[in-house]
Amino acid sequence: MDSSDIQVLAGAIEWLQNGANITLVTVAQTWGSSPRPPGAWAVLRNDGTVIGSVSGGCIEEDLIRRVRDGVYKGTMPEILTYGVSKDEATRFGLPCGGTLQLVVEPAPDLANLQLLQRRISEGLMTARTVDIASGYVMLENAARNDPVGWDGKRLTTVHGPRVRLLIIGAGQLSVFLASMAQALDYAVTVCDPREEYSMAWQVPAVHLVTTMPDDTVTTFRPDSASAIVALTHDPKLDDLALIEALRSPAFYVGALGSRANTAKRKERLTMHFGLTQAELERLHGPVGLRIGSRTPPEIAISILAEMTAVRNGVDLTAPPVSRVTNTATSACAAT
């Protein structure tokens, strides 16, 4: 569930608490190119005000019209399909002949949405299943990589932080990295056993721990949806974390430092801690893409850019022209 959909959930709850009538809309399935993926949310108040999106905007206009006209007065969910014909796809601005199917809930339950919000805030992955025939909504535990489920009768969406980030060090760079990572839907944990740094940490919604980095990585239990970045610039702390991180399934492991310091670090990790060449090759150092970054926020952007590329399977060794071409090709779905 991305940050925009969390905003949709918060907006829906606030409107319901204030006595407004709302309609919750979820992308159930897409065919061809479509602007928003399955599971994306939008919520509309009865006056047509909308939070979130299920398309590039044209479908929202039609949904607003429906809500204002009082089309959704009942309580039962229903299915709405756009882009069945070429003319309709053109009319609603769906690129490349795209088609999408929506599940419309005219009267979502406040208590159920509040429970979902509470579970997300506690870091619990939650599957929300809507039965179209009965209108019953069920919440249950889910795994981080569970997909959206849709069989035409029941829609299951997965909510909660899909990716996690562990930052070693609570310095200024970590402040920017943690804040920006939250905007990209990472659940962020910061580790720093140094009291002079941990006592000054003030980034909201970030879990701060003061245990030693190697113990922290072990407790963190990295999986394939985890990233670990060491930023203390202190080998006694960074190396401890990296030893455990490079042996884990984490999709990204990075460390701050110059090329010379990175070479020395790899030598230490090999000679004194027995890391293999394959494990060392997983280390991104110097951390971040080379974008000429100098300030802490610029470095944080470069780190997140590299993390995003790795997470999306982009070959960072490919020539820039190839990467631009790939980006342009996929842009059709976002136009």
Which of 3-12, 70-79, 233-242 bottoms out in mean pLDDT, i.e. has the lowest?
3-12
234-267: pLDDT as tens digits: 999 999 999 999 999 999 999 999 999 999 999 9
The answer to whether 288 and 305 are in contact (CB under 8 A) is yes
The answer to whether residue 9 scores a pLDDT higher than 80 is: yes
Q: Which two tokens stand for residue 41?
A: 């949310």
What average pLDDT score do residues 159-170 get? Answer: 89
C-alpha distances out from residue 15 to 61, 105, 114, Å: 20, 15, 12
Amino acid (1-letter code) at residue 315? D
Which of 81-90, 97-106, 199-208 bottoms out in mean pLDDT, i.e. has the lowest?
81-90
* DSSP calls for 144-177: TTPPPEE-SSEEEEEES-SEEEEEE--SHHHHHH
Ordered domains of the chain (ranges, CATH): 3-159 (no CATH), 163-311 (3.40.50.720)
CA–CA distance, 265 with 234 (Å, rounded to integer): 11
17-64: pLDDT as tens digits: 999 999 999 999 988 766 788 999 999 999 999 999 998 677 899 999
Q: Peptide bond before 286: cis, by omega within 30 degrees of 0?
A: yes
303-315: pLDDT as tens digits: 999 999 999 888 8
Name the band, by pLDDT with cuts 50, 70 and 90, for residue 335. Answer: very low
Q: Report the pLDDT value the prediction gives residue 272, as an integer from 0 to 100.
A: 80
The answer to whether 46 and 21 are in contact (CB under 8 A) is yes
Mean pLDDT, rounded, of the chain: 87
The answer to whether 41 and 9 are in contact (CB under 8 A) is yes
The answer to whether residue 133 scores a pLDDT higher than 90 is: yes
CA–CA distance, 61 with 48 (Å, rounded to integer): 9
* Single pTM value for the model: 0.65
CA–CA distance, 132 with 293 (Å, rounded to integer): 50
The answer to whether residue 188 scores a pLDDT higher than 90 is: yes
